[in-house]
Amino acid sequence: MFRDVVSKFPAHYRFGLTATPSRKYNDEKLIGAYLGEIVHTIDKTEVQSTPQSHGQVEGTDAVVVRTTSLATPFGTTSRDFQLIAKVLSSDANRNTLVAADIAREAREGRKCLVLTERKEHAEMLRAYLRRDFETIMFSGDLSSRQRVFALQKIKSGRFRILIATGQILGEGADIADLEVLFLAFPVSFHGKLAQYVGRIKREGGPKKVYDYRDANIPILEKLWKKRATYYRKSEFTIQT
């Protein structure tokens, strides 16, 4: 897709911008082949030290870590990830914890972005929240009409909570006014995590992320440790 689109640009020079040059399957080589090597990198500290005309709030990016009680059936291994994902998506205690965090932030007037990797998990979380809050669900199986309607509501700002699958609101999504991110489903690749974190506070100011650590399941604990490495490198304050 990238190659087909870029090769059709009748341009003598091509210039690219990205917040996440790394790609999970080394696709950055393809980007380099069409746009050239990286010629300049703007460090995070340079951005923070730049005066903002729209009243950036001073502060530190923070991740609130919630340790869950999630457990899987005896004998489950890392190769049973689909089973683990189903257990996670339907676990009442975990979903109640996530929903309570979302509800608290929403009641304080903040617009919340909730990302998961599974449609059934998004539907489950919406069921917990839709009675009390204006909630939009955005997933890949929406019809064209439903997608247009959802986008209109998002652009108008007539919502408090946006629940979406990460693939839909990953790279390139630009929705204003999102203030708090909830990573309801575990991810590990730092490029994807950076994209997700980049969806909130796009106008500047400190970011706030809720992350859910499933410490009882070895494969999910391993994914958490990878995310923790990203948070530390990105100078997030980790709150437990």
What are the structural domains, with CATH classification, of the chain?
2-41 (no CATH), 62-239 (3.40.50.300)
Of the two residues 29 and 140, the one the predictor is more confident about is 140
Percent of the chain with pLDDT over 90: 49
* pLDDT tens per residue, range 151-168: 888 888 889 999 998 776
Please provide the DSSP assignment of 147-186 as one string.
HHHHHHHHHHT--SEEEEETTTTSTT---TT--EEEE-S-
Most confident of 53-57, 65-69, 195-199: 65-69
In this predicted structure, what is the pLDDT of residue 114? 97
User: Rounded to an integer, what distance in angstroms lies between the CA atom of residue 125 and that of residue 84?
Assistant: 17
How does the average pLDDT of the chain come out, rounded? Answer: 84
The pLDDT tens digits for 93-116 are: 999 999 999 999 999 999 999 999
Q: What are phi and psi of 125, to 5 degrees?
A: -65, -35
DSSP 211: E
In this structure, of 20-29, 32-41, 191-200, the range with the lowest mean pLDDT score is 20-29
What's the burial of 65, exposed, middle or buried (CB within 10 Å: 0-12/13-18/19+)? middle
pLDDT, position 1? 64
pTM of the model: 0.78
157: left (phi over 0), alpha (psi -120 to 50) or beta: left
